[in-house]
A and B are shown apart, each in its own frame.
Chain A
Amino acid sequence: MTLTRRALLRGTAAATGLGLVGLGTTGCSGITPGRDGGGSLDYWNLFGGGDGVRMTQMLDTFRTANPGIALSAVTLAWGNPYYTKLSLATLGDKPPDVAISHLTRMKTLVASDLLEELRPEDLGRHGITADKFTPRAWQAGLVEGRAYGLPLDTHPFVMFYNTDICAKAGLLDAAGALTPLDTPDKFTDAMRRAKEASGAYGGVVSINGDTSTPWRIFQSLYSQLGGETLADEGRRVVIDDAKATQVLTFLQSLTADGLFPADIDYQGAIATFANGQAGFYFQGEWEISTYQTAKMPFSMTLFPNLYGGARYAVQADSHTLVIPRQPGRDPEQIDRALLLIRSMLDQSKTWAEGGHVPTWLPFRDSAEYQAMTPQSNYASAADGAVYDPDGWYSGSGSNFEIVTGSAIATVLGGQQSPADALAQMRGQLETLSTTASPI
Chain B
Amino acid sequence: MTTETAVRPPDAAESGAPPERHRWTGLPALGFLAPFMILYLAFIIGPTLYGLVMSFFDTSLVKPGLSGFAGFGNYTEALQSSDFWSSLWHTLWFTILTTPPLIILAFAFALLADRARYGRWFFRLAFFAPFILPSAVVALIWIFLYTPGLGLIETALAKVSITSPNWLGDPVWAMPSLAMTTIWWTLGFNFVLYLAGLQEIPRELYEASSIDGASVWQQIRKITIPMLGRTTTLVAVLQVIASLKVFDQMYIMTSGGPNFATRSILEYVYDQGFTNFRVGYAAAVSMLFFLVVLAVSAVWFALVRRQEKEV
Contacts and interface: CB of A to CB of B under 8 A. Distances in A.
Interface of A: 80, 83-84, 87-88, 91, 112-114, 207-209, 211, 261, 263-265, 267-268, 271-272, 393, 399, 402, 406-407, 409-410, 413, 415-416, 424, 427-428, 431, 435-436, 438-439
B276 A413 contact: no
A209 B277 contact: no
B259 A112 contact: no
Interface stretch (B91-99, B126-134, B143-151): B143-151
Contacts of A427: 82
Given A207-B169, A399-B271, A438 B276 contact: yes
A114 B147 contact: no
Contact of B275 (A80, A207, A410): A80
A87 B274 CA distance: 9
Interface string B239-272: 0000000000000011101111000000000010
29 contacts: A80-B271, A87-B61, A87-B277, A88-B61, A88-B274, A113-B62, A208-B169, A209-B169, A209-B255, A211-B257, A263-B148, A263-B166, A263-B169, A264-B169, A267-B147, A268-B147, A268-B150, A402-B257, A409-B259, A410-B171, A410-B258, A410-B259, A428-B83, A431-B81, A436-B58, A438-B60, A438-B62, A439-B63, A439-B277
A83 B275 CA distance: 8
Interface residues of B, number: 30
Contacts of B257: 208-209, 211, 402, 406, 409
Contacts of A439: 60, 62-63, 277
A406 B169 contact: no
Given A264-B149, A399-B275, A407-B259, A438 B169 contact: no
Contacts of A416: 259
B170 interface: yes
Contacts of A87: 61-62, 277
Contacts of A80: 271, 275
B146 to A, nearest CB: 9
A272 B260 CA distance: 26
Contacts of B83: 428, 431
Contacts of B274: 84, 88
Nearest to B254: A209
B278 interface: yes
A209 B256 CA distance: 9
B277 A112 contact: yes
Nearest to B70: A436
Interface of B is mostly: loop
A413 B275 contact: no
A220 to B, nearest CB: 21
B113 interface: no
Interface string B170-200: 1100000000000000000000000000000
Interface string B144-173: 000111100000000000000010111100
Contacts of A265: 147-148, 168-169
Contact of A438 (B170, B171, B277): B277
Contacts of A431: 81, 83
Contacts of B253: 209
A64 B60 CA distance: 43
Contacts of B258: 208-209, 406, 409-410, 413
A235 B40 CA distance: 43
Nearest to B77: A435
B275 to A, nearest CB: 5
The 7 lowest CB-CB distance pairs between A and B, nearest first, are A208-B169, A438-B60, A112-B62, A263-B166, A438-B277, A406-B259, A438-B278
Given A409-B259, A438-B60, A271 B169 contact: no
Nearest to A77: B252
B195 to A, nearest CB: 37
Given A264-B149, A431-B81, A209 B168 contact: yes
Interface string B52-85: 0000001011110000000000000000011100
Contacts of B275: 80, 83-84, 399
Nearest to A405: B257
Greatest chain A CB density within 10 A among B63, B149, B253, B254 is at B149
A409 B260 CA distance: 11
Contacts of B62: 87, 91, 112-114, 438-439
Interface centre among B148, B150, B274 (most CB of A within 10 A): B148
B259 A415 contact: yes
B61 A272 contact: no
Nearest to A428: B83
Contacts of B148: 208, 263-265, 268
Q: Which of A91, A207, A208, A211 has the most CB of B within 10 A?
A: A208
B177 to A, nearest CB: 12
B263 to A, nearest CB: 10
A416 B259 CA distance: 10
A272 B147 CA distance: 12
Given A88-B61, A406-B260, A439-B62, 13 more contacts: A91-B62, A209-B258, A261-B149, A263-B166, A263-B169, A264-B149, A265-B169, A271-B150, A399-B275, A402-B257, A416-B259, A424-B259, A435-B278
Q: Which of A83, A261, A267, A402 has the most CB of B within 10 A?
A: A402
